[in-house]
Structure 1
């Protein structure tokens, strides 16, 4: 019998090797994860609804399949958290919205089906902002998610529950999704790895506007290898995503990348993003410590002058598509962020939409030209250190007011517009001793090359005190007594409702 604490601390790749070699049972792994969730979830509220009993049945079935030497999937026996924007059969899926407080799907969506088919064991749903709007994970159904490094600070969003769960070693894998940075920003805030995949690489059926590349689903893990493993299990063509394409990749990372051969460009702000002066200094110091690793490392210039307006329009198109029915039925049923998104889009004209789609094409073409000179581009992932989750969003940078509640996501959404794969990887801490996320951007559809380069960069960083991945102080977290229900504007689930919901049945 293995020590449960030690098992929970192990990553997905290591656990897979132990399970495949029968050194550890899937049941042991699951119980270690459940124990970790039960101990620390009250401190950070990373998981909302859970499905422990079904997970236990699946873990026992996997153990029996191993004993019978039956063929199994790539993620066989690995517990996983599913973002609460993904429909899961028999497990409460609320989108963080009172509108879906009792939504109990009758089937899994495309992403969840692939993860289960690969053998992953779903232990529960991870918390999100209401309808996934914004980069601070708090909603009127489940409350706020606190950062494992300091539960009074936000964990980013909208995949904030997933990032917090990974950082606290509750599960070895979590799913994420990304529009303007929803996967990369929480990865940066919580000191883990999150990959915004190329549009269509991992199919998603929940986009009403299936032809837009703005929103993607993708993997999150504690390190690059774990992230690769989940991607390998989920990538490839699907008939319900018109952007999906045929793709195969090795199950495990093979070979190495010689960092000394890479040409690297970097930018603090893409010429248009507001970035805190302290974060600029931290970023410059990180780049200075890396420069000697590469064949070249130089500052880039790119024309993003119309990126903000462009993103406003293409983002609003997606929200109008997803929220129109709810808004027309009862505008008051939507929280302030989703409602603002819908109303912004509803005011736009066809002329606005045509201009924005043409401008995104221009941004795409200009950005790809950079990769004739560079193999990777680096930037900060977020413009500020983590701020308190009571503050709904960042209002200003360097004392200058921001234009709207999501303008502080610009470092990631300008890359969304270009459609290149991008990941956030932990690179030491910032000026406030919170995790610092480095955004690493690869060439068009160069997801695997990006991951391989990031793995080599990660290996170097782990040898350097100032660059290695930080870990939260779990002993301090255990003593935390932060009230994570404070920011809600609607009554949260009562304790008896929460107990029902965590077993995967309707809360109301």
Structure 2
């Protein structure tokens, strides 16, 4: 196969060919590295690379495949790992100058699982400092540009993963999600990002182990590939208090016909700010989707009060993670991270108790409404992609936002409900940037949500208004020095 043909293979197909001895893991890796070297200078999706180690592992994977026997779910597949995830022997900076030279001795739980399944960690992917915010830029690696327009942002905080997938640099990437960090960049870059139920993908690195807000999960170009990666990521780990055993078997799935689906949709969950043009785009998508499903009707969801809940619970995590650093010197933290810490440090026990009571009441109301539909649908992002040089969105429809992350409301309200949710590509918006719809499944209904998404993906593929868009790679031939302009010192690479 030609190099370009190899990089566009789905992960599922590449895995099949490797097992059938029709594709060499070495050839696949070399094709991915060539694509990275050709395209990444234009969008800056990658952080540290570990190409030589990956080549050694690819040769080992090829030898194992040729010998026959049982192979892991991800055997021989190159993968990008978000730079918030610890990777043994590979630079892990968290997008922070504090960790510019940090090379962990061990993989974290999720990375260990995918490597044991045969994945070949090839590169780290870019993220904002400590994952704070949905614009992927930091002083270590610079900014990540949108593959459809490199001066626009790619979303975040898993923006590097989404941009690498959209440009066929890698068949699979990992991400994590607190307030939308898997779903927002997937939407803006035209790929699939899946936020699993808390505990399905185990974590050994959350300071507040019983908090369900932050999860790790899969990203890919299609639902079947997301399902494959999730099958390797999921599993029980006693180090995670939320981890549980489940017979999800995400790889198998169950075929559904989109024409049988009942969808309840909401523009804004009764509380989220939404740009007028994006609202109009969403309504146009709803009309197109109606042609493919049994029911697609509005549902009156009102999550008023959830913003304050998210503020408090999110800030608790920043206090747990950054208290020691802040007390040593606040200037060691970037502006977003520092602002979140200070918000949390100013809160009281009464704030926490009130928050959890409100969240519980809203959760119960939402679950009652959601049970009448196969899936709840909304926009993923409140506005089209804006320039990455703008740190965050200041206003929507002329109305100022009270904090830098309020424009993430459409996704963080669903993080607070804990239902599995995802971004599925749904054509482009009014500005010709990819548009994603958020699909929210039943509580702990991860496998069912993947089945629904795959049915919709199949239906969308033949509809010009809904099909997944792809970037013009020929337009990304020239490197962008502006994306690196915010780096103050060149990082060392392990």
User: Which deviates further from its counterpart, 224-233 or 246-255?
Assistant: 246-255
RMSD: 1.1
Contact 2:89 2:104 survives alignment (8 Å): yes
Residue 432 (1) aligns with residue 431 (2): yes
1:214 matched residue in structure 2: 213
SS in 2 for 1:352: helix
Deviation at 1:261, TM superposition (A): 2.4
2:251 matched residue in structure 1: 252
1-side partners of 2:282 and 2:229: how far apart? 29
2:138 matched residue in structure 1: 139
Contact 1:390 1:486 survives alignment (8 Å): no
SS in 1 for 2:263: strand
Contact 1:74 1:251 survives alignment (8 Å): no
SS in 2 for 1:484: helix
User: Which deviates further from its counterpart, 60-69 or 250-259?
Assistant: 250-259
1:106 matched residue in structure 2: 105
SS in 2 for 1:219: strand
Q: What are the superposed Cα offsets for residues 416-450 of structure 1, whole Å, 9 maximum, x if unpaired?
A: 11100000011000000000011011000001100
1:345 matched residue in structure 2: 344
2:122 matched residue in structure 1: 123
1:89 matched residue in structure 2: 88
1:10 matched residue in structure 2: 9
1:241 matched residue in structure 2: 240
Contact 2:266 2:301 survives alignment (8 Å): no
Q: What are the superposed Cα offsets for residues 467-496 of structure 1, whole Å, 9 maximum, x if unpaired?
A: 1000000001113535102345xx131xxx
2-side partners of 1:349 and 1:278: how far apart? 39
1:394 matched residue in structure 2: 393
2-side partners of 1:390 and 1:487: how far apart? 9
Contact 2:248 2:446 survives alignment (8 Å): no
2-side partners of 1:240 and 1:476: how far apart? 46
Contact 1:145 1:160 survives alignment (8 Å): yes
Deviation at 1:234, TM superposition (A): 1.3
Alignment of 1:461-480 (within 5 A): 461-479=460-478
2:229 matched residue in structure 1: 230
Q: TM-score, normalised by structure 1?
A: 0.96
2-side partners of 1:157 and 1:254: how far apart? 29
Residue 169 (1) aligns with residue 195 (2): no
Q: What are the superposed Cα offsets for residues 366-420 of structure 1, whole Å, 9 maximum, x if unpaired?
A: 1110133111011000011101000000111111111110000000001011100
What are structure 2's unaligned runs of at least 5 residues? none
1:75 matched residue in structure 2: 74
SS in 1 for 2:291: helix
Deviation at 1:71, TM superposition (A): 1.8
User: Which deviates further from its counterpart, 54-63 or 240-249?
Assistant: 240-249
2:456 matched residue in structure 1: 457
Check 1:445–1:308 CA distance in 2 against 1; reply closer, same or farther (3 A cut).
Answer: same
Contact 2:371 2:442 survives alignment (8 Å): no
What are structure 1's unaligned runs of at least 5 residues? none
Residue 156 (1) aligns with residue 155 (2): yes
Contact 1:142 1:492 survives alignment (8 Å): no
2:362 matched residue in structure 1: 363
Deviation at 1:268, TM superposition (A): 0.6
Alignment of 1:414-425 (within 5 A): 414-425=413-424
Residue 492 (1) aligns with residue 494 (2): no
2-side partners of 1:250 and 1:203: how far apart? 16
Contact 2:187 2:424 survives alignment (8 Å): yes
2-side partners of 1:259 and 1:466: how far apart? 16
Q: What are the superposed Cα offsets for residues 15-42 of structure 1, whole Å, 9 maximum, x if unpaired?
A: 1111111111000000000111111111
Check 1:481–1:104 CA distance in 2 against 1; reply closer, same or farther (3 A cut).
Answer: closer
SS in 2 for 1:248: coil
1:375 matched residue in structure 2: 374
1:293 matched residue in structure 2: 292
1:59 matched residue in structure 2: 58
2-side partners of 1:81 and 1:285: how far apart? 34
1:385 matched residue in structure 2: 384
Aligned length: 494
Alignment of 1:19-58 (within 5 A): 19-58=18-57
1-side partners of 2:9 and 2:150: how far apart? 23
1-side partners of 2:209 and 2:220: how far apart? 26
1-side partners of 2:10 and 2:145: how far apart? 22
Deviation at 1:296, TM superposition (A): 1.9
